[in-house]
Amino acid sequence: MATRLAAVASVAPEERKGDLQAQVAARELAEAYHSYGVAGKAWFLATLASEYGTSGSRVYDAITGWRSATVSGTGPREDRYFKAERALRESLVPGYDRLFALLRQQPGGMKFVVDLRRDVRSLLRAPPEKAGGLVAATRADLAALDKYMHSVLSSWFAVGALDLASITWDTPASTLEKIMDYERVHRMDGWEDLKQRLGPGRRCYAFFHPAMPDEPLIFVEVALLRSMASSIQDVLSEVPTLADEEASSTAIFYSISATQAGLAQIELGNFLIKRVVNALLAESSSPAYFATLSPIPGFSSWLASSHAAGELEAMLPPLGAVALATLDETLEAAPRSLGDALMAHLASPDWHKSPAIADALQATLLPLCARYLTSVRPPRAGEPAASALDPVANFHLRNGARVERINWLGDSSPRGLRQSAGLMVNYRYSLRYIDENNYRYANEGAITVSPAIADILSTVTSSPL
């Protein structure tokens, strides 16, 4: 294994041309890796990260060369300068870059690199006792490997390189099986459920890479409806007919799933929705409205941390506070504050089935959720603008959507109740405004909302409490 690694990774880039031997070594290495157990894989990844990265002394020498080529002062740059610049750039290319370039040229090689990054990331997350005695220094090497692979894979999977394909009941079963496995947002209950999600009134689209034709990278499920859906249970349980499809006016994106753990933090969905909108518009009776029915994954934890920080009380909407106050007696232990009361009701089982509790919580939670969805964190270094706290909101806002409507009990599954108190949200894609919304969000951190959301927001943001 070490010999094969040396064969592929230690050769200078100028020699990469037509080197079939290195190709063979890279292929054998990929085969050997698959046969390894957890410890063997950890050893391999640690070796790759720590011994086939960059060479500090080579970088140092290249820096010396760069400095002597720039010492002449501020005149125009000459060939000598650019040669030194290229040498410096080249010295910063880690040895493992060559392995990835070789693997990319092989059938299945691209998928192998994706899976390798998945393993690097799981090794980084593993507790020390399970990571085969990784020391802190190797951990830093592995983190650098992960980041480098991120940049390599970002380039391989750039949007121009991806094909949009419609997934239907005529798609090979091996691909359909993967769609079923990868659907984690609203799990499928076997083949009949899948068939329904590909039947009349439904659509499914996926991005594929030509070098990984059997692997859907990210896919979106669409429901064609008469109006904007407010509950995921309605979408999933409805069995639409062709007549329903013909009467539809609205396309609802109700599930988006990325499939490859090795492509974490690489934007694949970026243009997916825009491409799917265009594909739908090309159909004979195309929908007029486009929106999502989306989860709000960070809402419950934002509530909990706001409460823990003592900030929840001041954010309660006036009507909600009144409703909560009248509910106090239903709790076993008397709450010390309205915030306590809210959290205690939310923690009680089946609260949403009690009309009194549900009404009080609705008056409280809708405004709080509107506030959460339009909350931003400060821009990170190098970013031009703030971005939404909620990751799904951030995704759709960056794509040019607006916050359209918050749906009370839009997802009453245990998971939906847990992560967002049962709330769901529609983000609306209006082709006319996509570019403008995207620009304002990306550059000014401005979040566009519907008039209805603006109304709800006015009850909390200008609240005298």
Q: Residues in the site for its own copies, rule: CB under 8 A? A: 11-12, 14-15, 17-21, 24, 54, 56, 59-60, 63, 66-67, 70, 75-79, 81-82, 85-86, 88-89, 92, 101, 104-106, 109-110, 135-138, 140-141, 143-144, 147, 155, 158-161, 163, 210-211, 267, 270-271, 380-384, 398-400, 434-435, 438-439, 442-443
Cβ closest to its own copies, residue 75 vs residue 190: 75
Cβ closest to its own copies, residue 71 vs residue 239: 71
Cβ closest to its own copies, residue 56 vs residue 414: 56
* Alpha carbon distance 282, 272 (integer Å): 15
In whole angstroms, how close is the CB of 31 to its own copies at the nearest point?
17
In whole angstroms, how close is the CB of 117 to its own copies at the nearest point?
16
Cβ closest to its own copies, residue 234 vs residue 436: 436
Cβ closest to its own copies, residue 18 vs residue 127: 18
| Cβ-contact 403, 447 below 8 angstroms | yes
Beta strand 250-258 with 218-225 is antiparallel
Tokens describing residue 410: 């839009």
* Alpha carbon distance 109, 229 (integer Å): 42
* Alpha carbon distance 241, 108 (integer Å): 40
Measured in whole angstroms, the distance separating CA 434 from the mean position of its chain's CA atoms is 20
Could you confirm whether 294 is annotated as catalytic?
yes
Count CB atoms within 10 A of the CB of residue 208.
18
> How far is residue 151 from each of residues 148, 267, 402, measured CA to CA in Å?
5, 11, 30
In whole angstroms, how close is the CB of 18 to its own copies at the nearest point?
4
The residues pairing with 387 across neighbouring beta strands, listed in sequence order, are 377
Among 95, 109, 100, 98, CA closest to 27: 109
In whole angstroms, how close is the CB of 21 to its own copies at the nearest point?
5
* Alpha carbon distance 45, 289 (integer Å): 48
Burial 236-268 (b: 16+ CB within 10 A, else e): beeebeeebbeebebbbbbbbbbbbebbeebbb
Beta strand 289-292 with 250-258 is parallel
Q: Any residues with CB less than 8 A from the CB of 183 and at least 6 apart, and which?
A: 221, 255, 257
In whole angstroms, how close is the CB of 78 to its own copies at the nearest point?
5
In whole angstroms, how close is the CB of 253 to its own copies at the nearest point?
16
Cβ closest to its own copies, residue 15 vs residue 181: 15
Cβ closest to its own copies, residue 343 vs residue 385: 385
* Alpha carbon distance 323, 336 (integer Å): 16
In whole angstroms, how close is the CB of 211 to its own copies at the nearest point?
5
- DSSP alpha helices (H): ranges in 183-292? 191-197, 232-237, 242-246, 272-281
Cβ closest to its own copies, residue 44 vs residue 66: 66
Q: What is the CA radius of gyration of the chain?
A: 27
In whole angstroms, how close is the CB of 105 to its own copies at the nearest point?
4
> Catalytic pick from 209, 307, 345, 396?
396
> Catalytic pick from 91, 294, 306, 420?
294
Beta strand 387-388 with 218-225 is unpaired
Q: Please tell me the total number of residues recorded for the chain in this structure.
A: 465
| Cβ-contact 407, 425 below 8 angstroms | yes
Residues acting as catalytic residues: 294, 396
